Amino acid sequence: MDPKIFKAYDIRGIYPSEIDEQGAYRIAKAIYRFLVKERGTDDLTLVVGCDVRLSSPSLKRAAMKALTDQGVRVIDVGSISTDMLYFAVAEYGYNGGFTVTASHNPKEYNGMKIVREGGQPISSDSGLFEIRDDAEQLEIPDGTLKNDPDRSLIEEKVIMDDYAKKVRSFADLSKLKPFKIVANPNFGVGGVALDRITEGLGLDIVKLNYEPDGNFPKGRPDPLIPENQEEISALVVEQGADFGVAWDADADRCFFFTEKGQFIEGYFITALLSRIFLERHRGDKIVHDTRLTWAIEDTVSDLGGIDLPNKAGHSFMKERMFREKAVFGGEMSAHYFFRDYYFCDCGMIPFVMILEFLSRQEKSFSEIMQELFWDRYFVSGEINSSVADVPSTVEKIRSLYIGNASKVDDRDGISLDFLDQKNDSNSWRFSVRASNTEPLIRLNVESKSRDTMERKRDELLAIIRG
């Protein structure tokens, strides 16, 4: 087990060189020991699931062996999306759990996402590195993994029907238009969930990369990759679909495309979902990351809500959601969080909410986005750059720009706003931050005019890339 696989909010490494069955055993045992210490009792029932990766069943078996060797009762929920883990732990009142997954990473990766009671995350801020340090010290006697887990302590539980019912509760699906939709789960379990959620709704689903396949035959299962966007975008136009939707392999992130095949940034979906929630819950709180903000801040302000900027990362977002009891939260990365989903993120709830929203509109998806956001806010999209020294590069940018900033936010890298009271088209802002999972600098630039955005984007990239 390579300790570097422990990231800011989950565990990810290459199988079997960085994480293997012995590593999974040690991590699972350390999770158990951490929860015993936190709860003050060794009487635990933990949920275990996995994604569709080829290495996941073997790692899951080793992890369940670790738990049953400690006398832990295990709820085996099978092959699941990551948000189904949150559902299973919180809905049924179990003491915590984990799923064996590497999210959208390539097929050679695997890892774990871990939660405590209530589906709440265990991140680097709340115990993940303590689990790492304990797992590093644990030794496994020879032959430990030869025998199967104690099946008398394992209950296999099918949760799909209950999960689908929970997801559907977020929208009134009684008056849906007969939409034609292109759906791309990127060979993960999302298609299985979508079939159950949309059963009986009269939708025409055009299926792309739909059957689960842990080989991920078209490469990294991540809708943020431009090549992956091109495939679904072209199919939406070819099929004359009303819109397209895609998920990453563990289906906890959701991405949308207009009827013209245009990719919609998670930033703008966050603003749109904020609008939908605040129309239902006037004055409520919305949590969002600080990479791009103006469309969200303006939407929340217009509808009398309270916007709460926060450090990016799904664990950090959930922890803030829970503290603030916020109705909704969203990230540019397309993680969306819901108070009525245990303050956790879910990849299917945005889909049903957008279904209901579009069914109430006379305009197309592209017309709505143009009117609400695209004619008003111009963004660079997240631009990643590999540099020799990330902290010093961020500090250099800070020192060059902070003196002229109208607003400074340094809770996650550095975000600076520059407002021109005389000419709003000259107003702009940017965010520069280190990646939580990769040795990269991430840049986002936003302005009220395309020219200003592009000029400032190029100016900053010249500094970052030298």
Per residue in 139-198, pLDDT tens?
Answer: 999 999 999 999 999 999 999 999 999 999 999 999 999 999 999 999 999 999 999 999
DSSP string over 74-92? EEEEEE--HHHHHHHHHHH
Exposed / middle / buried, residue 201 (Cβ in 10 Å: 0-12, 13-18, 19+): middle
pLDDT of residue 466: 84
| 329 residue type, one letter | G
CATH 3.40.120.10 maps onto the chain at 3-158, 179-264, 266-345
User: Tokens 């702009």 appear where?
Assistant: 428
pLDDT of residue 437: 62
pLDDT of residue 279: 97
Other residues' Cβ atoms within 10 Å of the Cβ of residue 143: 7
Look up residue 286 and give its two tokens: 């919305």
CA distances 19 to 11, 25, 59, 103, 325, Å, are 9, 10, 9, 15, 36
Catalytic residue among 56, 79, 103, 447: 103
Exposed / middle / buried, residue 108 (Cβ in 10 Å: 0-12, 13-18, 19+): middle
Is 103 a residue of the active site?
Answer: yes
pLDDT of residue 418: 98
Fold for the domain defined by 3-158: Alpha-D-Glucose-1,6-Bisphosphate; Chain A, domain 3 (3.40.120)
DSSP state of 341: G
Burial annotation 273-299 (CB, 10 A radius, 16+ → b, else e): bbbbbbeeeeebbbbbbbbbbbbbbbb
Fold for the domain defined by 179-264: Alpha-D-Glucose-1,6-Bisphosphate; Chain A, domain 3 (3.40.120)
pLDDT of residue 388: 87
pLDDT of residue 101: 98
> Domain spanning 266-345: which CATH class is it, in words?
alpha beta
Torsion of CA 19, 21, 27, 29, to 10 degrees: -170
DSSP state of 149: P
Longest dimension (CA), the chain: 74
CATH 3.30.310.50 maps onto the chain at 378-465
How far apart are the C-alpha atoms of 109 and 129, rounded to whole Å? 20
Look up residue 254 and give its two tokens: 């959701």
Fold for the domain defined by 378-465: TATA-Binding Protein (3.30.310)
Residue in 36, 34, 32, 85 with CA at minimum distance from that of residue 56: 85
Could you tell me the pTM of the whole model?
Answer: 0.96
Look up residue 94 and give its two tokens: 């179990």
pLDDT of residue 436: 67
User: Do 235 and 208 form a contact (C-beta atoms < 8 A)?
Assistant: yes
In the predicted model, residues of the chain with pLDDT beneath 50 are none
How far apart are the C-alpha atoms of 431 and 331, rounded to whole Å? 14
Look up residue 113 and give its two tokens: 């996402």
How far apart are the C-alpha atoms of 438 and 386, rounded to whole Å? 9
pLDDT of residue 439: 75
